[in-house]
């Protein structure tokens, strides 16, 4: 999927709280990413999923009806709870065009976008494995802010 020309889309960002026990988390998250990537590719949906401790913040981009329907499916998934819609942007620039679901995390599983939760003051770290675009940085930074706000003090 091209990620060069800006493309308008609907973007929904929500937060939730993971219910997966620690010992199952790696496998379950792997399964979620794999389902998400295959389903989203078929539906022209792109986005990013940030997992930090028990907090989830996910951005879903695509056709509005498709994204809303996907959100309804995700909302019913028992692997998380307390879903809250944080942003709905009807005329967003598609930021994650190259990712059917980018993994934003600070774990060892080779994230697509490193979380850099404590090191994001100066923007992109030189150690980032892949350069991100300004549009991605903006959305990821927003998502980090929500995750940080949701974290226990």
Interface positions with ligand FMN (CB under 6 A): 32, 35-36, 39-40, 49, 56, 58, 70, 73-74, 77, 79-80, 101
Whole-number Å distance between alpha carbons of 37 and 28: 14
Strands of the chain, DSSP E? 8-18, 46-52, 55-62, 80-93, 102-105, 113-114
Closest CA to 95 of 46, 54, 131: 46
Q: C-beta of 150: minimal distance to ligand FMN in Å?
A: 13
Report the residue number, 19 or 119, with the smaller CB distance to ligand FMN: 19
Report the residue number, 81 or 125, with the smaller CB distance to ligand FMN: 81
Q: C-beta of 58: minimal distance to ligand FMN in Å?
A: 5
Q: C-beta of 2: minimal distance to ligand FMN in Å?
A: 20
Report the residue number, 64 or 123, with the smaller CB distance to ligand FMN: 64
Q: In what order do the strands lie in the sheet with 102-105?
A: 80-93, 8-18, 55-62, 46-52, 102-105, 113-114
Using DSSP's 3-state secondary structure scheme, residue 127 falls into: coil
Q: C-beta of 142: minimal distance to ligand FMN in Å?
A: 17
Report the residue number, 83 or 124, with the smaller CB distance to ligand FMN: 83
């Amino acid at each position: 999927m091209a990620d060069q020309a800006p493309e308008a889309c609907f973007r929904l960002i929500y937060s939730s709280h993971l219910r997966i026990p620690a010992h199952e988390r790696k496998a379950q998250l792997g399964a979620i990413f794999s389902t998400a990537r295959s389903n989203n590719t078929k539906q022209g949906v792109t986005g990013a999923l940030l997992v930090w401790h028990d907090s989830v913040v996910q951005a879903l981009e695509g056709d509005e009806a498709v994204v809303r329907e996907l959100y309804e499916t995700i909302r019913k998934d028992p692997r998380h709870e307390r879903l809250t819609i944080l942003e709905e942007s009807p005329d967003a620039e598609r930021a994650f065009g190259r990712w059917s679901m980018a993994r934003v995390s600070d774990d060892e599983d080779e994230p697509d976008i490193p979380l850099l939760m404590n090191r994001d003051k100066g923007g992109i770290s030189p150690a980032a494995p892949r350069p991100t675009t300004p549009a991605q940085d903006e959305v990821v930074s927003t998502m980090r802010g929500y995750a940080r706000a949701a974290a226990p003090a």
